[in-house]
A and B are shown apart, each in its own frame.
Chain A
Amino acid sequence: AQSVTQLGSHVSVSEGALVLLRCNYSSSVPPYLFWYVQYPNQGLQLLLKYTSAATLVKGINGFEAEFKKSETSFHLTKPSAHMSDAAEYFCAVSNFGNEKLTFGTGTRLTIIP
């Protein structure tokens, strides 16, 4: 069985401040991990993914995430928030031989001008 937990359903940061969105996973086998972003009234698009290569993964729009096996975490960060980052962010997990993704419940990011 696999699952993800996203701590904080709502996060607010000031424009220019650090963005940190938390994701912890549970998986009995080595995981593949994903972050997706959903802008208002749109579908989900992939930000970045971890597939057992480098533990620090860089994605689009200046986001990155670090896989930490000891902490079972895959937190998403961005050094300086921009107004255009306001969206909902979903962490997801899969693993070898599994054709399905399991999503977290999402974190809505608000940027304060």
Chain B
Amino acid sequence: NAGVTQTPKFRVLKTGQSMTLLCAQDMNHEYMYWYRQDPGMGLRLIHYSVGEGTTAKGEVPDGYNVSRLKKQNFLLGLESAAPSQTSVYFCASSYVVVGENEQFFGPGTRLTVL
């Protein structure tokens, strides 16, 4: 099993450009998450999904959109990138075990917006 994979690993954008980050998991997990990691701020939840076709806002959703058309994939979109979105983005997934919620993480995507 590959676990959680993320594409691409690195990306440089110019302000105003758009892009989509892809997350895929092969563990048949129901829940999937997108986080951003910034120095000194830990991980902050952007959006999450509790099942195919569902999405919900997390702590810092502004400037991002998501889609979960297939259970194994969770896409994060930036419609008009801004320098404040320079960050490392992590995808995670978990089983439906209410409360325990052990999450499995991908290797991350390092995004720089110039």
Contact = CB atoms under 8 A, between A and B. Distances in A.
| A, B co-complexed | yes
A81 B94 CA distance: 30
B100 to A, nearest CB: 5
Contacts, number: 61
Interface in B39-86: 40-45, 48, 50, 58
A99 interface: yes
Contact of B45 (A41, A43, A100): A100
Contact of A43 (B48, B99, B107): B107
Interface of A: 9, 32, 34, 36, 41-46, 49, 51, 90, 94-101, 103-106
Q: Is the interface of A mostly helix, strand, loop or mixed?
A: loop
B4 A43 contact: yes
Nearest to A43: B105
A99 B108 contact: no
- Most chain-B CB neighbours within 10 Å: which of A34, A95, A99? A99
A57 to B, nearest CB: 13
A4 to B, nearest CB: 9
B100 A100 contact: no
